[in-house]
Amino acid sequence: MTRTRGNSKITIMPRGPRLDAPGTLHHVIARGIERKEIFKDKVDYQDFLQRLELVVDQCNLEIYAWALIPNHFHLLIRTKDTPLSKAMRKLMTGYAVNFNRRHQRNGYLFQNRYKSILCEDEPYLMELVRYVHLNPYRAGIAKSLEELDRYNWSGHLALIGRIERKWQNTEEILLRFSEYKNKAIINYRKFIEEGKEQGRRTEFTGGGLKRSAGGWFEVLALKRQKCEMASDARILGRGEFVEEILKEAEKKELETLRLKRKKIGIKELCEKVIKFYKIEMSELTSGNCRETIIKARRETSHIAVKKLGLSGAEVARYLGVTASCINRIAGKGEISREGEIILRSLDI
């Protein structure tokens, strides 16, 4: 899609990469296709929560707030070493497959991709916790705060002590109200009550203070052209926070450009790998199942696909295995300490 600003035309990519960095806070929203139900019964809700608990553990996430509504869900997530996109793919794909099987349906369950807004902790963390947990009340599912206190499908119950969810980070939130748990719960409950008449706040769901066209490079493009574009909001924060995100974007852009300039191929990577592991090239490119060779092959796959941007097919041809094998290896886990050493030897 192209829009004109002044005498210049700017092309906006509708499906840009996600904004993400370790330690960042995200408000995630996903809706059913055509706003249809994605939770039809208790089994659906329980299945989603079981999957969420598993993903929190596998992807090392912090969940501060969440709410499941029949046709959409909200999550307030802090990522660490696993990208948000990978965690959400694990959560939503598995759930959609089981939902379709249970309800004997085919096709997409969710409307497009989920929406994620990268948020500044202060002053937005607590406001977002309240906004997310009041969602069932705003939707009319819970007619009063007393009913909200009994609504099983949000993180509110864990914060008021009605249910224990070990995968939800309640301690960090309650400590903001008091160091004594009972007093913290009372103060939190009062905080929720004070916000019940606020209604829908567009800055929390896609009308934020800083707008961008999608991914890191689109943010930089808008900054350089000094434009504010009316596309999906991706950043919610004050000026200093936005500038920090832009610096991170510039850093990522430089890394990508450096890789493109170097044009490192699979052959050069494999030479570094065999030197590090003290093995022969013939061992790396054969079916040798020695533990060291398996490690070397795994690191080659991770670095080639995740850092060098090589295709699974290209790596597979060189190593003498199938493309599905390379993609499977690259999709599991992250680059190890040994892999980071090999990366430094490539000067990237």
User: Which pLDDT band, with edges at 50, 70 and 90, does 159 fall under?
Assistant: very high
221 φ, ψ (degrees, to nearest 5): -60, -40
Same fold, 25-203 and 264-345: no
238 or 181, greater pLDDT: 181
Summary mean pLDDT of the chain: 80
The pLDDT score that the predictor gives to residue 171 is 95
Whether the predicted pLDDT of 91 surpasses 60: yes
Structure token digits, residue 193:
């009550």
Distance CA(124)–CA(74), nearest Å, equals 15
Query: What DSSP character marks residue 306?
Result: I
Strand order in the sheet with 115-119: 62-69, 72-78, 25-31, 115-119, 233-236, 210-211
Q: Give domain 264-345's CATH architecture.
A: Orthogonal Bundle (1.10)
The string of pLDDT tens digits covering residues 141-157 is 999 999 999 999 999 99
Query: Which range scores top for mean pLDDT: 11-25, 34-48, 236-250, 282-296?
Result: 34-48
The string of pLDDT tens digits covering residues 37-88 is 999 999 999 999 999 999 999 999 999 999 999 999 999 999 988 888 889 9
Q: Which residues of 78-93 are buried (b: 16+ CB within 10 A; e: fewer)?
A: bbeebbbebbbebbbe
* Lowest model confidence (mean pLDDT) among 62-76, 231-245, 253-267: 231-245
Whether the predicted pLDDT of 8 surpasses 70: no
Query: What DSSP character marks residue 285?
Result: T
The pLDDT score that the predictor gives to residue 54 is 96
Of 168, 161, 188, nearest to 177 (Cα)? 188
| H-helix or E-strand spanning residue 205 | helix 202-205
Q: Is 212 within 8 Å of 229 (Cβ atoms)? A: yes
The pLDDT score that the predictor gives to residue 213 is 35
Whether the predicted pLDDT of 250 surpasses 70: no
Q: Give domain 25-203's CATH architecture.
A: 2-Layer Sandwich (3.30)
- What number is the average pLDDT over the span 328-333? 80
Return the domain boundaries, the chain: 25-203, 207-261, 264-345
Query: What DSSP character marks residue 288?
Result: -
The string of pLDDT tens digits covering residues 284-293 is 888 778 889 8
